[in-house]
Amino acid sequence: MPGDFAFKGCRKIQGSQIIHLLKAKDFFLFDCDGVLWHGEHAINGAPKVVNSLIRQGKNVFFVTNNCTRPRENYVNKFYRLGFTDVIQEQIFSSSYCSALYLRDVAKVQGQVFVIGGEGVRKELREAGIPIVEDEIDATDATIYDCALTQNVKAVLMGHDDKFTFLKLARASCYLRDPECLFLATDNDPWHPLQNGRILPGSGCLTAALEVATGRKATVIGKPSRFMFECISSQFPLQPAQCLMVGDRLETDMLFGANCGLDTMLTLTGVSQMKQAESYRDSKQHTNQNFVPDYVVDTIADFLPAFDVLD
Amino acid sequence: MAVSKCTLLTGPLIKQLLDSVDTVLFDCDGVIWRGNQAVPGAADVIDLLKKNGKRVFFVTNNSSKTRKMYAEKMKTMGFDAKEDEVFGTAYCTAMYLKTVLKLEGKVYLIGNNAMKEELENVGIQHTGTGPDLIFGTPSDWANVPLDPEVKAVVVGFDNDFSYMKLNRAMQYLSNPDCMFVGTNNDTRLPLEGGKVVPATGCMVKAVETAAQRPAQVVGKPSPFIFDCVASRFKLDGARCLMVGDRLDTDILLGSNCGLKTLLTLTGVSTLADAEAHQRSGSPQRLVMVPDYYVISIADLLPALQG
pLDDT tens, B6-65? 999 999 999 999 999 999 999 999 999 998 899 999 999 999 999 999 999 999 999 999
Shortest CA gap B197–chain A (Å): 6
What pLDDT is recorded for position A143? Answer: 84
Q: Distance between CA atoms of A276 and A268, rounded to whole angstroms?
A: 14
- CB of A101 closer than 8 Å to CB of A220: yes
pLDDT value for A196: 83
Burial class of A183 by CB neighbour count within 10 A (0 to 12, 13 to 18, 19+): buried
How does residue B2 score in pLDDT terms, banded at 50, 70 and 90? low
Taking CB atoms and an 8 Å limit, are B209 and A176 in contact across chains?
A: no
Nearest CA in chain B to A159: B163
Check CB contact of B210 with chain A, cutoff 8 Å.
Answer: yes
Q: What is the pLDDT of residue B135?
A: 92
Give yes or no: A31 in active site: yes
Report the percent of chain B where pLDDT is more than 90: 93
Cα gap B285→B306, rounded to integer Å = 36
Which helix (H) or strand (E) segment holds residue A309: the answer is helix A303-309
User: Mutation test of the interface with chain A: which of B137, B175, B196, B268, choosing the one with the most A Cβ atoms within 10 A?
Assistant: B196
Q: Tens digits of per-residue pLDDT, B253-283?
A: 999 999 999 999 999 999 999 999 999 989 9
Q: Does pLDDT of B192 surpass 80?
A: no
- What is the pLDDT at residue B290? 98
Q: Which of A33, A186, A252, A301 is catalytic?
A: A33
Q: Is A33 a catalytic residue?
A: yes
For B276-304, what is each residue's pLDDT tens digit?
999 998 999 999 999 999 999 999 999 99
pTM: 0.94
Non-local CB neighbours of B19 within 8 Å, separated by 6+ positions:
none
CA nearest to A215 within chain B: B187
Tell me the average pLDDT across B151-179: 98
Residue B106 has pLDDT above 60, yes or no: yes
What is the SS3 assignment for B180-241?
Answer: EEECCCCCEEECHHHCEEECHHHHHHHHHHHHCCCCEECCCCCCHHHHHHHHHHCCCHHHEE
CB contact under 8 A, B131 and A139: yes
Average pLDDT, chain B: 95
Low-confidence ranges of chain A (pLDDT < 50): 1, 3-6
CA-CA distance, A292 to A278, in Å (whole number)?
12
The answer to whether the CB atoms of B205 and A211 lie below 8 A apart is yes
Cβ-based neighbours of A216, under 8 Å, separated by 6 or more: A182, A210
- Is ipTM > 0.90 here? yes
Contact A165 B158 (CB under 8 A): yes
> Which of A157, A161, A170 to mutate: most B Cβ within 10 Å?
A161
Give residue B191's pLDDT band: very low, low, confident or very high (50, 70, 90): confident
State residue B158 phi and psi, 5-degree precision.
-145, 105
| Mean pLDDT of all residues in B142-157 | 97
Nearest CA among A62, A266, A170, A167 for reference residue B191: A170
Residue contact B161–A169, C-beta within 8 A? no
Beta strands A41-42 and A294-296 are unpaired
Distance from C-alpha of B244 to C-alpha of B251, rounded to nearest angstrom: 7
Instruction: Tell me, yes or no, if A152 comes closer than 8 A to chain B by beta carbon.
Output: no
What pLDDT was estimated at residue B179? 98
Nearest to B110 by CA among B160, B178, B151: B160
CA torsion, ordered A22, A23, A28, A30, to nearest 10 deg: 0
Report the pLDDT averaged over residues B121-140.
Answer: 96
